[in-house]
């Protein structure tokens, strides 16, 4: 597999820690600070690109591995109800990994969270305070000449 995990802890304001995942297509950052979904999206857009979009099973598995390694139980991802068809960056959602019975929209659950135990997704109230994954964008290959 071309996936490898490069995890480093970088203190931000002495309370946030970043875990960065790189694979052959995308890279993500787990921000281990709890924010609401709208605040997490704002943070990702200011400091990275957006909340994470998960486009296939490999990316889902990579995020699951990072969550398990970090000890975080749940993390926001960029999917939201409108009607669960688009990611925060406006790209279409063509891959999903909902837990059985989800999304169930109990008590205004309009935002998606990633479960670190199962790797499945849940719809949650957007006002819940949860760590989150940011998407850093496409990884471009660079050539080095010696």
By three-state DSSP, how is residue 47 classified?
helix
As a whole number of angstroms, the distance between CA 94 and CA 123 comes to: 17
Counting Cα atoms < 13 Å in the Cβ hemisphere of 146 gives 0
**pLDDT tens-digit profile of 56-104?**
999 999 899 888 888 899 999 999 998 888 999 888 999 999 999 999 9
As a whole number of angstroms, the distance between CA 95 and CA 30 comes to: 20
**pLDDT tens-digit profile of 14-64?**
444 455 555 444 588 899 999 999 999 999 999 989 999 999 999 999 899
CATH class of 4-138: alpha beta
Q: Quick one: DSSP state of residue 78?
A: E
Q: What is the pTM of this model?
A: 0.79
Measured at the alpha carbon of residue 26, what is the angle toward residues 133 and 99, in degrees to the nearest 5?
Answer: 50
CA 107 from centroid of its chain's CA atoms = 23
Spans of all domains in the chain: 4-138
* Residue 17 near residue 10 (C-beta atoms within 8 A): yes
């Amino acid at each position: 597999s071309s996936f490898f995990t490069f995890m480093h802890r970088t203190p931000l304001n002495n309370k946030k820690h970043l875990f960065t995942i790189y694979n052959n297509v995308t890279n993500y950052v787990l921000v281990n600070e709890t924010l609401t979904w709208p605040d997490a999206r704002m943070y990702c857009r200011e400091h990275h690109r957006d909340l994470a979009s998960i486009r296939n099973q490999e990316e889902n598995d990579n995020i699951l591995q990072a969550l398990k390694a970090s000890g975080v139980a749940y993390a926001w991802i960029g999917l939201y109800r409108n009607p669960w068809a688009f990611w925060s960056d406006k790209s279409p959602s063509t891959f999903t990994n909902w837990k059985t019975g989800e999304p169930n929209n109990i008590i205004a659950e309009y935002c998606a969270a990633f479960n670190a135990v199962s790797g499945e997704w849940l719809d949650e109230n957007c006002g819940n305070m949860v760590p989150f994954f940011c998407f850093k964008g496409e990884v471009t290959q660079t050539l080095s000449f010696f």
